[in-house]
Amino acid sequence: MIGRIVNVALVLAMVGGAVVTYNLKHEAEKAATRVSRLHTGIAKEREAIAFLKAEWSMLSQPGRLQQLIARYQDHFRLEPFSANQVATLDEIPLRPVSPEPAAGEATLAAAVAIMETPR
């Protein structure tokens, strides 16, 4: 009698182990499929980036840009710039600095404001 109970328990444990193993295998296959799709997507994105870099290189060639400027001179009305139009870093004004209260002053001001609010 005890032998049958042990056998049944072992068979149930074996079936449970088989179910767990099948689920793990299924999850691993899904993960592998997802990784494969991600690798494919990354390869497509890299290809698109390479294509866009090549296109940008072609579009920004100085000779091509000079031809476009000459062709559309009336539309753009571009003129060569002179040397006095170029500024140095010293000539660019800095942003005004707004004074910030010290950490202790800000905390004290916030505490006073809280105490003065009507309830």
Question: What is the domain extent for residue 35?
Answer: 1-81
Query: Does some domain include residue 32?
Result: yes
Structure tokens at 82: 């002179």
Distance CA 25, CA 53 (A): 42
Query: Does some domain include residue 63?
Result: yes
Tens-digit pLDDT profile for residues 19-48 = 999 999 999 999 999 999 999 999 999 999
Query: Does some domain include residue 21?
Result: yes
Query: Does some domain include residue 93?
Result: no
pLDDT band (50, 70, 90) for residue 50: very high
Tens-digit pLDDT profile for residues 74-116 = 888 877 778 778 888 888 888 887 766 555 566 666 776 676 6
Query: Does some domain include residue 117?
Result: no
Query: Does some domain include residue 33?
Result: yes
Is 101 within 8 Å of 109 (Cβ atoms)? yes
> How many structural domains does the chain have?
1
Query: Does some domain include residue 104?
Result: no
Query: Does some domain include residue 15?
Result: yes
Torsion sign across C-alpha atoms 102, 104, 110, 116: negative
Structure tokens at 37: 């799709």
